[in-house]
């Protein structure tokens, strides 16, 4: 029987995922897409399709999604189909996606009982129907398979790209006040042509129904409401694995880990933690404000079943003194209680370092994956390669056991991880090594990273956008296999650096870890590279052929001024000389200074 290739994709991915105010929104968007595509894959297989990408020879993808509770299924698939069943299979897959989405939307709509006037449910229904039915775009094509698989696949991808470029368009009228998250669609209300005051009234009722899920000034559309409430409707996963910790919780997680370890080692009295929790609960009761948070997996494992430590499942903001200053300003009646909590936190800070307020978003993406697939000569080779990619994705999830981190999404060769600064460099190295051990045995394909570092209170959409821009800058480097960093300072200044991950035998991450280790051991002043920067005019602008020699000479001079006299500086100076020797001449100074600033910032703020 004649065979064809089918390619199927759900979108728009970036638009759907990036419009996220909370980490929970970001995770829910990714998980929903993975869930919907897994249902489409199930339907295609049921009608006789044989999956090529993503491919697993051990378990079905829906089970994998449920077992990991992490968005691990990419938003597209490639399948081998019988010619006479191909159209039916992909049409049914599309119907399956729409049916599952409709069921989820109806469940969430049913939980929004904000109706205050007779027959008002009909307008809520209209908003949901209009926004949900028109939001997702589903594309698919079929293409004949011949004896030259590589050629068939390349042509199928060209046709699919052409299909995507012809986006389905329908004029959408979105009246009334817009969603405060996406800013594009009409905000939900229980009355057509509702006034702003009537919308506020509707959402006040909704906030009481779904306590702590919505901020005071949020009025969301159907799509953004689905993202926010979808985690509550997920039944297949362990409740502790659903969703994602807040950015503050991720930032302070090393502090929380130190707190737990000090408690277990009896360096902190049980009564101190009890006093902290008691005071916090009193404030919660007075303000009627939720304090519960989601903890990272590694923290949860350390807490285990300890009755006291289990009570530390609170949002990261409540481990920061600033939080209580802000609460006291807005609610003077809690000032005395807030001061007591601040005093307890102050004692913790003195014993084992105050918590960080910064965290990182890591974007990961394979380089030249399409080119690698294009060189495969058979479906079996493609399936084997797909299985490697899926195994890599699954192994990446072990990051959460080994490091403080949250894998928000990892489908195929691309993913997003949130991490505190302390573990950032180790996580990048861990993912890199996994990829080259599992996928890239001969050095091809490669992997690139985009990293944004920001304060936990910075707008999440902006941080995610910066991580993507960092990845784009990395991808512009010839040959790719690169790193892009973006450091967003509270002052508004942004430090941007793009650099190769590896120059022959020199690893940028390994070099960064060596410099950071000097700071950790207090073997050199953090001021040394700033001295060099202040004196830059004395050697910048020199003849390019002489520049590197002069630059290296100046680096050594300033380094030796600030290094601890008790250590042998030769090994690290050799590393610095080798590193400067391989970075580009035309912007080598800026790259070196940028890397130094990022290392020093990570050390200072971790």
* 175 and 199 part of one domain: yes
Instruction: Among 233, 263, 279, identify where a domain stops.
Output: 233
* 203 and 125 part of one domain: yes
Instruction: Among 329, 352, 375, identify where a domain stops.
Output: 352
Residue 187 domain-assigned? Answer: yes
pLDDT of residue 164: 72
Indicate the range of 109-123, 326-340, 583-597 predicted with least confidence.
109-123
Indicate the range of 155-169, 339-353, 570-584 predicted with least confidence.
155-169
The fraction of the chain above a pLDDT of 70, given in percent, is: 95
* DSSP secondary structure letter of residue 452: E
pLDDT of residue 58: 55
Element (H, E) at 539: none
Geometric angle at alpha carbon 70, from 66 and 75, rounded to 5°: 95
Asked whether residue 537 carries a pLDDT value surpassing 80, the answer given is no
Residue 363 domain-assigned? Answer: no
Instruction: Among 322, 352, 382, identify where a domain stops.
Output: 352
Which of these, 414, 603, 382, lies nearest to 513 by C-alpha position? 603
pLDDT in tens, 378-400: 999 999 999 999 999 999 999 99
pLDDT in tens, 250-278: 999 999 999 999 999 888 888 999 999 99
* 327 and 203 part of one domain: no
Element (H, E) at 457: none
Indicate the range of 10-24, 105-119, 323-337 predicted with least confidence.
105-119
Asked whether residue 118 carries a pLDDT value surpassing 60, the answer given is no
Residue 447 domain-assigned? Answer: no
Q: What is the mean pLDDT of residues 425-445?
A: 92
**Strand locations in 319-472 (E):** 358-367, 406-411, 414-420, 446-455
Using the structure block, give the residue that is written with the tokens 């995507």: 164
* 226 and 266 part of one domain: no
* 24 and 150 part of one domain: yes
* 217 and 256 part of one domain: no
pLDDT band at 220 (very low <50, low <70, confident <90, very high): very high
Residue 404 domain-assigned? Answer: no
* 199 and 260 part of one domain: no
Q: Which residues pair with 409 in a beta bridge?
A: 416
Residue 421 domain-assigned? Answer: no
**Strand locations in 67-161 (E):** 76-82, 137-144
Indicate the range of 44-48, 62-66, 566-570 predicted with least confidence.
62-66
Asked whether residue 584 carries a pLDDT value surpassing 90, the answer given is no
* 138 and 176 part of one domain: yes
* 180 and 287 part of one domain: no
Cα–Cα distance, 21 to 483 (Å, whole number): 26
Residue 375 domain-assigned? Answer: no
* 162 and 13 part of one domain: yes
Residue 181 domain-assigned? Answer: yes
* 120 and 73 part of one domain: yes
Q: Which domain covers residue 8, as residue numbers?
A: 3-233
pLDDT of residue 305: 79
Here the CATH number for the domain that contains residue 103 is 3.30.70.2220
Q: What is the mean pLDDT of residues 147-155?
A: 91
Indicate the range of 211-225, 392-406, 525-539 predicted with least confidence.
525-539
Indicate the range of 119-133, 297-311, 313-327 predicted with least confidence.
119-133
Which of these, 120, 110, 138, lies nearest to 222 by C-alpha position? 110
* 195 and 330 part of one domain: no
Cα–Cα distance, 526 to 337 (Å, whole number): 38
Asked whether residue 596 carries a pLDDT value surpassing 70, the answer given is yes
Q: How many domains does the chain have?
A: 3
Residue 403 domain-assigned? Answer: no
């Amino acid at each position: 029987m004649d065979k064809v290739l089918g390619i199927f994709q759900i979108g728009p991915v970036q638009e759907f995922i990036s419009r996220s105010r909370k980490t929970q929104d970001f995770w829910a968007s990714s998980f929903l897409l993975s869930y919907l595509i897994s249902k489409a894959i199930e339907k295609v297989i049921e009608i006789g399709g044989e999956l090529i990408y993503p491919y697993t020879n051990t378990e079905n993808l829906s089970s994998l999604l449920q077992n990991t509770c992490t968005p691990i299924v990419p938003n597209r698939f490639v399948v081998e189909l019988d010619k006479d069943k191909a159209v039916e299979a992909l049409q049914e897959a599309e119907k399956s996606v729409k049916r599952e989405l409709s069921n989820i939307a109806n469940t969430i709509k049913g939980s929004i009982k904000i109706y205050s006037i007779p027959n008002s449910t009909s307008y809520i229904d209209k908003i949901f129907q209009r926004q949900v039915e028109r939001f997702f775009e589903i594309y698919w094509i079929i293409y004949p398979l011949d004896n030259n698989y590589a050629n068939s696949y390349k042509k199928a991808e060209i046709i699919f790209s052409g299909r995507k470029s012809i986006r389905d368009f329908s004029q959408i009228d979105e009246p009334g006040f817009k969603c405060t998250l996406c800013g594009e669609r009409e905000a939900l209300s229980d009355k057509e042509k509702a006034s702003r005051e009537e919308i506020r009234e509707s959402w006040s009722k909704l906030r009481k129904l779904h306590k702590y899920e919505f901020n005071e000034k949020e009025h969301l559309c159907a799509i953004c409401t689905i993202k926010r409430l979808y985690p509550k409707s997920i039944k297949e996963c362990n409740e502790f694995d659903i969703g994602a910790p807040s950015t503050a919780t991720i930032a302070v997680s090393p502090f929380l880990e130190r707190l737990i370890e000090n408690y277990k080692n009896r360096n902190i009295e049980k009564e101190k933690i009890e006093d902290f929790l008691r005071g916090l609960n009193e404030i919660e009761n007075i303000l009627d404000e939720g304090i519960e948070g989601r903890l990272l997996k590694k923290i949860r494992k350390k807490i285990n079943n300890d009755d006291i430590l289990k009570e530390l499942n609170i949002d990261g903001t409540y481990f920061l003194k600033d939080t209580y200053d802000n609460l006291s300003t807005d609610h003077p009646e809690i000032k005395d209680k807030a001061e007591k909590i601040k005093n307890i936190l102050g004692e913790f800070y003195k014993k084992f370092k105050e918590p960080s307020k910064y965290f990182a978003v890591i974007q990961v993406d394979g380089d030249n994956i399409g080119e690698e697939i294009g060189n495969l000569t058979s479906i079996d080779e493609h399936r084997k390669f797909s299985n490697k990619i899926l195994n890599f994705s699954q192994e990446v999830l072990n990051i959460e056991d080994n490091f403080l981190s949250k894998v928000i999404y990892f489908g195929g060769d691309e993913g997003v991880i949130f991490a505190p600064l302390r573990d950032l460099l180790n996580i990048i190295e861990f993912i890199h090594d996994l990829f080259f051990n599992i996928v890239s045995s001969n050095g091809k394909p490669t992997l690139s990273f985009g990293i944004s570092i920001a304060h936990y209170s910075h707008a999440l959409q902006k941080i995610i956008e910066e991580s993507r821009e960092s990845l784009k800058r990395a991808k512009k480097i010839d040959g790719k296999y690169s790193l892009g960093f973006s450091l967003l300072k509270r002052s508004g200044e942004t430090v941007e650096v793009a650099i190769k991950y590896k120059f022959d035998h020199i690893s940028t991450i390994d070099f960064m870890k060596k410099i950071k280790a000097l700071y950790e051991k207090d073997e050199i002043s953090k001021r040394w590279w700033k001295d060099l920067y202040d004196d830059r005019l004395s050697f910048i602008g020199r003849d390019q052929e002489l520049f590197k020699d002069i630059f290296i000479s100046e680096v050594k001079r300033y380094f030796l001024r600030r290094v601890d006299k008790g250590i042998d500086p030769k090994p690290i100076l050799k590393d610095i000389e080798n590193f400067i020797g391989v970075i580009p001449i035309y912007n080598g100074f800026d790259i070196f200074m940028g890397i130094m600033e990022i290392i020093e910032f990570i050390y200072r703020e971790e």
